[in-house]
Amino acid sequence: MKSFFEDFIAYYKKNKGAINGALIGLVIALSILRYGLFRAIFIAILVFLGYYLGKRYEKDKKFARKILDKLFPPGKFR
């Protein structure tokens, strides 16, 4: 006999895209209602930027150092 949790996991695996899309839509709708359209867009941009930078940092641990070296040349401020 399957438990509720096992049934839920099976259902989620079968309908992953629809469930994730609905949850993302819910979060966006609640953000717009709570903060307004432009603030919600600003929050979304910062979330995606944080995700992107975190992903890049996972792949290359010296990513932050490379960005700082581009902004501030190595011999100039150290």
For the stretch 50-59, pLDDT in tens is 898 888 888 8
DSSP state of 15: T
Q: What is the pTM for the complete model shown?
A: 0.62
Give the mean model confidence (pLDDT) for residues 18-22.
93
Which residue shows structure tokens 């609640």? Answer: 30
**pLDDT interval class at 78 (50, 70, 90):** low
- What are the residue ranges spanned by the domains of the chain? 1-35, 36-78
* % of the chain with per-residue pLDDT over 90: 58
HSE, side-chain direction, 13 A CA sphere, residue 67: 8
pLDDT band at 64 (very low <50, low <70, confident <90, very high): confident
